[in-house]
Structure 1
């Protein structure tokens, strides 16, 4: 079995703190919802306004961004509120078999499976109803040739920069830097919004495994949306 690396949405607190926009005089702030602005003069006393220390401003920003979203509970409540029966989550009796990564990434061949509905110009776009097909995209494709279609997420950013859901340029850079050994001949993409668990397990998953083995991949990066 090919080992898998998963790209998720875990928050990196260091990047969040260092990425906080700074205004004049070293002030920390954010423009938009939940604006927090700090004054270098230190904490204010009651009645002196709403400024806070830079440290507390950063802590507030980090705390807000780290707050996880419980998608299972949210989906359950949404379905119930719309009058639908409870959502049928996939339940596996057995855990996937553990497979050790066969060596450092700098010596391995890396593949990608992405569920963001990405396809190459000239290929058929994915459909919205339980589409269990996949697309093989050559790893040397120009990013400008890539398209995205999906019913379950806002496509605005993906269509502006495909790397937000399909990190093709980033992976090429990692190969150039020697941090990844090489890329397989193809990346594989599919439409992640498939409600038929049976068709995923019986059709899509076996087809992708077969292609990964044929490409002699050492490890696969999963990029879910």
Structure 2
């Protein structure tokens, strides 16, 4: 499968519904206790793009986008309006939003990640599709900007520093990001209400690993 580095129309995805899903296997024992296990190490996002369509123009744009992706064939970028930055959605990314790791005096490449959790547990999510021009970083609290201390690969989420961060130094970053997805159907059903409005009852989108 190829991945196309283009984003689904963000003004349409803003009205969509979706979020993370997990898979949990539950077995109830004879004594009433449960055994719970998950075969998934990572969560996966699902969305319904059809809910964001408001006009025939929206429908036409989405149909054109769907055709260009070949239905389920090619992946693309998706903006999750509820979770698209390293910090809170209402705030601009800051250089100390997320901890990427500790310097060892040799490693120059760090992967962007976003951490979720509380005192009981933490989930670390790999970020593969940062938005170009949004990544800021810091080494030991010293802010840096792209092109002045580090470079970013927006197709993989890897940050390469010009010099290895010193041993024991905390490496942090802030960024906006997209979710790598594909359509989860090879068919679009369009309903036209009148000459100005239309709707697509359902257009499922699912996250993919890249």
Please give the range of the TM-score, normalised by the shorter of the 2 chains.
under 0.3
Structure 1 length normalisation: TM-score? 0.22
Higher helix share: 1
Instruction: Kindly name which structure, 1 or 2, has the bigger radius of gyration based on alpha carbons.
Output: 1
Structure 2 length normalisation: TM-score? 0.23
Higher strand share: 2
